[in-house]
């Protein structure tokens, strides 16, 4: 949800939490999660989320640790860095072998799927060499 911006994230969350019928925001979110969305990810927000998740790894355990590793894995996959994403998802499953999102994302990677935006220079992530080491 962080990658789509606050407004769209709240819309998707509200739809999912109040209904069994999913609307446009929920469909938008699922397409974004699976990398099939035509939108450009909010890379600044995702980069900040990456740093936050990385920093929280040191104080997390169990399912929370697996969730953070899974988020980091998805962000790396979204950036087009599949090998690193694969390692992070496998680490999440070593922490919690039953963590369903990590299982599903691992299948996606093992099938060779990459987000549509990776091949689009206008929407793809580009490394910023500004020397930042944290959020």
Tens of pLDDT, residue by residue, the chain (135 residues):
667 677 777 777 777 677 566 667 777 778 888 898 888 899 998 999 999 999 999 999 999 999 999 999 999 999 999 999 999 999 999 999 999 999 999 999 999 999 999 999 999 998 876 665 555
CA distance 55 to 36: 29
Cα 16 to Cα 43, 56, 114: the distances in Å are 24, 27, 25
Q: Give the pLDDT of residue 27.
A: 77
What per-residue confidence (pLDDT) applies to 33?
Answer: 84
How far is residue 133 from each of residues 51, 52, 80, 105, 130, measured CA to CA in Å? Answer: 8, 11, 20, 27, 9
Whole-number Å distance between alpha carbons of 39 and 35: 10
């Amino acid at each position: 949800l962080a990658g789509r911006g606050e407004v769209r994230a709240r819309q998707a969350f509200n739809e999912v939490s109040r209904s069994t019928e999913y609307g446009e925001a929920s469909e938008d979110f699922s397409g974004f999660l699976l990398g099939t969305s035509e939108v450009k990810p909010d890379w600044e927000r995702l980069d900040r989320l990456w740093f936050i998740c990385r920093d929280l790894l040191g104080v997390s355990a169990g399912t929370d640790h697996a969730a953070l590793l899974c988020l980091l894995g998805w962000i790396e996959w979204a950036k087009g860095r599949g090998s690193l994403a694969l390692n992070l998802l496998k680490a999440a499953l070593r922490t919690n072998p039953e963590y369903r999102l990590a299982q599903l994302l691992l299948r996606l990677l093992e099938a060779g799927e990459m987000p549509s935006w990776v091949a689009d220079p206008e929407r793809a992530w580009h490394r910023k060499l500004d020397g930042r080491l944290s959020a």
